[in-house]
């Protein structure tokens, strides 16, 4: 098992990302009872043209988890975090976050998820993300935005 940057421009890897994404986000859509989430609009071409960086949790050339993000000067925006549903609760999401934190130790990191996606909400809150905003996208469906500021976390630990 290793976590590594994977190339979304490679057709074979992009196909693995897209397949995993659909499988993972189907579970999220079921949890939040909302099917019109952006990951369902992605195509192989969109994945391959994405300017996000993709971290993959890979074992024997199989991708079990992906965290995709965009990097600014001292800021990271997580665009997707997905784990193969057959491997939920095995620490893959946590391992991907830990790897991101080690790559960008002093960066402010943001992410958003469905308000009712409790597995994601719990993962982010456990890792020091704080809810900064909630937006009702459609009646009965809200997104929550989270921010993790490493310097603020360090101050609280003192």
Q: Could you give all domains of the chain from N- to C-terminal order, each with its CATH number?
A: 2-157 (3.40.630.30)
Contacts of 104 (CB under 8 A, 6+ apart): 71, 76
The model's pTM is 0.90
CA distance linking residue 124 with residue 120, whole number of Å: 6
pLDDT in tens, 14-42: 999 999 999 988 877 777 766 767 677 78
Report phi then psi at 157, rounded to 5.
Answer: -80, -15
Q: Output the CA angle 80-130-99, nearest 5 degrees.
A: 45
pLDDT in tens, 87-108: 988 999 999 999 999 999 999 9
């Amino acid at each position: 098992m290793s976590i590594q940057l994977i190339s979304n421009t490679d057709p074979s890897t992009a196909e693995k990302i897209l397949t995993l994404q659909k499988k993972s986000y189907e579970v999220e859509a079921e949890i939040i009872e909302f099917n019109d989430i952006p990951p369902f609009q992605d195509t192989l071409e969109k994945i391959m043209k994405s300017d996000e960086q993709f971290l993959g949790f890979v074992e024997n050339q199989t991708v079990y988890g992906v965290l995709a993000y965009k990097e600014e000067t001292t800021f990271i925006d997580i665009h997707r975090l997905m784990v193969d549903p057959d491997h939920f609760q095995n620490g893959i999401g946590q391992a991907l976050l830990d790897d991101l934190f080690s790559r960008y130790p002093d960066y402010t990191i943001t992410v958003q998820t469905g308000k009712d996606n409790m597995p994601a909400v719990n993962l982010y809150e456990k890792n020091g993300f704080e809810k900064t905003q909630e937006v009702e996208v459609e009646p009965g469906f809200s997104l929550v935005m989270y921010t993790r500021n490493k310097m603020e976390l360090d101050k609280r630990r003192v």
